[in-house]
Structure 1
C-alpha cells in the first residue's frame, strides 16, 4: 500500500495534464451529471450555456452526461441520443466550451435493463443475464433478456458509431460509463451477471464485454480523442463487488489501454448513497412530474440508509485503486475545498472530478485559483438531482434556476 502522506513533489491542481492525445489546461474535470436539458433528445440552448459557463469558470474539461449510443440505450425520455439529428446541436455546445478554453467530453453509454422505456430492438430490455428485472417494478417491464454474442457486437458497433459522432461534433474525449448499474456495469457486477459462459464468472470474464467495447472505441478514435472509463470502485451493497475488486478492474482497464479512469462508486438502484456520499432529503423544493421518477425517489428514501456527508468520502476506496495502477486517475467523491484537493494531489491522483460543487458555483475553479475562495458553498444536500426534472433543468437551490425558455429550444436553432 502506498504512503498516504502528501508527496513532496505533488503537482499543482492548476497545472496541465495529458491524457492520451489530449492535454488539459488544468486537472479539474466537471463530472457527468444528468442535467435535464435535452427536451426531445435534443441538446438545448440552456445545456450549451450551462457547459459554457462551467468552461468559463475555469475547468480543464467538462463532461456531457449520458449520451446514449442508440434509442434503446436511453433510460428515460428526453435523453440525448448520439445520432445525426443531435450533431449540429452538440457542435454548438462544444464550440461554446472551446471558446472558453476548456475541453469537452461526451459520456457515451447504454442503460441495458436500467431503463423505463420499451426497447425497440428486442422483446425485453437487454442485460448481462435474463430473468427478473427489479428496475422493471416501476415500469412494468418485469423481465430482462440476456445478451447474445451477436447483441454484444451490435452494441459495441453502436459505441463505436457514437464515439465517431462525438468526434465529428467536436468533443475532445469520450467517457465510457462502466458504473452505477448501466449496461457495461451490469456485466461487471456479480449482482447482475449470472452468466456461465466466457462472459460470466470470474472478474476477467465479467470484464470481457466492457473490454471489447473499450478496445473497439480506442481503435476507432483513440488517436484523436481521450478515451476515459468511469466505473464504480465499490458497489456499496452486499454481494456486490468491493474496493479490492475495483482495484482489479482498474488493472484490467489499464491493460486494455484506457487513457484515464474516473473513480466513482455505488449503484443507481441499490446504493445511491454510496454514490453521493449522503442521503437524499425527504423534504424537497422540487415537485417531480414524472410519476415513475417520483416513485423511484420515494422508494429510495425508504430503503437507503441515512448517511451524513463528509469530504472525500471515497478516498479510502480510491487509494486501493491508486496503489494498483500507474495510469492517470481522476478522483470523484466529495472534494469541496482547496485543502481537500491539495490532499488528493498529494496522494497521487492526477485529476479531480467535481459535480455538485460546480452546479453550485460554475466559477469555483477560478475562485480557487484567484484566492477568492477556498471552500465551496455546496452543502451536498442532493436537491440538484431532483432539479433535473424542473423546466429549467439542473441547478443549485442556493442559486438561480435554469431558464425554461432556453431549455425548450435546440442549441442550434
Structure 2
C-alpha cells in the first residue's frame, strides 16, 4: 500500500474500467471551461493545461465544451468538433497519453443558452419555444421548439462529434446533459413544456437525451467510454426534483451509458449550485466579456449567500447511488483525502475534481505519496473568471495564464 492507509482512500488509486476503457486510478479532471480556444482553435495553452493534469497523476482529463455544431456553441471562442480542429485536438490527446492518462471530450450543444452573434436559424433551438431567459441578456429574446427532424439532426451531430473525437485520439466522450445546456433543457420542467411524446413526466422528458446517448453508443461505444454528465439538483424551485433525476439515471443506465458524472446547478438559474459557493464580488468587475459581465451582475442581485462545504452535492448523489447499479462518478467539492475516502466509501466508482486540480495539477501524485491530505484551493471561484481573460483559466493563487501560448494554435 502507498502512503494512503485507509482502505477506502487506497481504493481511489486502483484501476477502474469504464466501458471499453481502463483508467489507471479513479481521479478524473472535470470539464471546466478553459478559455483556451480563441476563434475556436485549440491552443498550445490548452494542450499544456491538460498535459500538466495528466502528468500530475489524474487518470483522465476532460476537455470542456466541444460543440457538436457551430450553432451549439455558447461563445465564439469554443471548440467545434469539425475537421479543422482535429489536428489541434490530436496534439492535445497525444500529450495527455504520453503522460499515461486518458483524454475525454465533453460533447455539447447549448440550445437556447447561447450568446453567438449569428445562428443558422432565426431563434436558437430548445425543448420548447417562447421567451428565452438566457437570451434576454444578449438581445435574443425568443427560442424555437425543436421538431422531430431537428432532434434527429442534432442526435446525429452528437454521433458525428463523437466519431471526430475518436479520430482526434480521445479515449472517452462525456455527453453534457446538465447545467442548462440543450439536453438538460429537455430534462428540466422549467424548460420542457412540451405536450407531445417528448415532454410531460420525467420518463418522457428523458427520451431525447436517451436517444442521443443511444446514437453515440452506436457510433463509438465499442471503442470509447461514453459517459453522461447529469445535474442531480438544479438549485431552483422550478427544477426537476430528485425523483425525476433518478428516473433519468435509470433510463440512461438501461440505454447502456458506461458511467454517469453527477454534477449540479444551472448556468442561469443557480450557478452557485454548480460551484457550491458564490462568485466573488470583486471578480465580477474583471470579466472582459460584456455579456457575461452584465449577466453575472444581474445574477448577484438574487443569488443566495452560499458558503463552500466539501462534498456539497453528496446528499443528492448518494440517493442516485442507491437507485442504480451502474458506474457513477462523484463531482462536487472533493478537495481532501478525507473527502475522497468518503466518496469511495459511498460506493462511487470515480471522483471528479475541478478547482482543486486547477490549483495544483500535481495534487493526485501528492495525495498518493502522502505529501498532503488537503488541497490548498480556497473555492474562491476567481479561476472561473480567468476563463474570460487573455491567458485562460488558471488559479490566481498558484499561477498565471500564458497569453502567448493561448494565441498560438496547438498544431503547426
In structure 2, distance between residues paired with 1:383 and 1:290: 15
Alpha carbons of 1:18 and 1:314: their partners in 2 closer, same or farther (altered >3 Å)? same
Unaligned runs of at least 5 residues, structure 2: 1-5
Secondary structure at the aligned position of 2:278 is classed as coil
Indicate yes or no: 2:139 matched with 1:140: yes
Aligned to 1:3: none
Deviation of 1:395 (Å): 0.4
Q: Contact 1:10/1:348 (CA < 8 Å) preserved in 2?
A: no
Q: Contact 1:118/1:125 (CA < 8 Å) preserved in 2?
A: no
In structure 2, distance between residues paired with 1:34 and 1:287: 17
In structure 2, distance between residues paired with 1:115 and 1:59: 31
* TM-score normalised by length of structure 2: 0.97
* TM-score normalised by length of structure 1: 0.97
How many residues are matched?
407
Q: Cα deviation per residue 1:269-310 (whole Å; 9 max; x = unaligned)? A: 001111110111101287222110111111122221110001
Aligned to 2:124: 125
In structure 1, distance between residues paired with 2:394 and 2:9: 33
In structure 1, distance between residues paired with 2:351 and 2:164: 27
Indicate yes or no: 2:350 matched with 1:351: yes
Deviation of 1:226 (Å): 0.2
Secondary structure at the aligned position of 1:197 is classed as coil
In structure 1, distance between residues paired with 2:301 and 2:396: 23
Aligned to 2:362: 363
Q: Contact 1:193/1:206 (CA < 8 Å) preserved in 2?
A: yes
Instruction: Please give the residue correspondences for 1:65-144 in structure 2 after superposition, counting only pairs within 5 Å.
Output: 65-144=64-143
Deviation of 1:10 (Å): 7.9
Q: Contact 2:9/2:337 (CA < 8 Å) preserved in 1?
A: no
Q: Contact 2:321/2:328 (CA < 8 Å) preserved in 1?
A: yes
Secondary structure at the aligned position of 2:104 is classed as strand
Unaligned runs of at least 5 residues, structure 1: 1-6
Deviation of 1:243 (Å): 2.2
Deviation of 1:135 (Å): 0.8
Deviation of 1:11 (Å): 6.3
* Aligned CA-pair RMSD: 1.3
Secondary structure at the aligned position of 1:326 is classed as coil
Moved more, 283-292 or 94-103: 283-292
Indicate yes or no: 2:319 matched with 1:323: no
Deviation of 1:245 (Å): 2.0
Aligned to 1:236: 235
Q: Contact 1:286/1:387 (CA < 8 Å) preserved in 2?
A: no
Secondary structure at the aligned position of 2:204 is classed as helix
Aligned to 1:60: 59
Q: Contact 2:284/2:296 (CA < 8 Å) preserved in 1?
A: no
In structure 2, distance between residues paired with 1:123 and 1:201: 26
Alpha carbons of 1:11 and 1:241: their partners in 2 closer, same or farther (altered >3 Å)? farther
Instruction: Please give the residue correspondences for 1:214-225 in structure 2 after superposition, counting only pairs within 5 Å.
Output: 214-225=213-224
In structure 2, distance between residues paired with 1:192 and 1:180: 12
Indicate yes or no: 2:31 matched with 1:32: yes
In structure 2, distance between residues paired with 1:170 and 1:244: 37
Q: Cα deviation per residue 1:363-388 (whole Å; 9 max; x = unaligned)? A: 10000001111100001011100000
Indicate yes or no: 2:210 matched with 1:204: no
Aligned to 2:263: 264
In structure 1, distance between residues paired with 2:283 and 2:179: 24
In structure 2, distance between residues paired with 1:316 and 1:293: 31
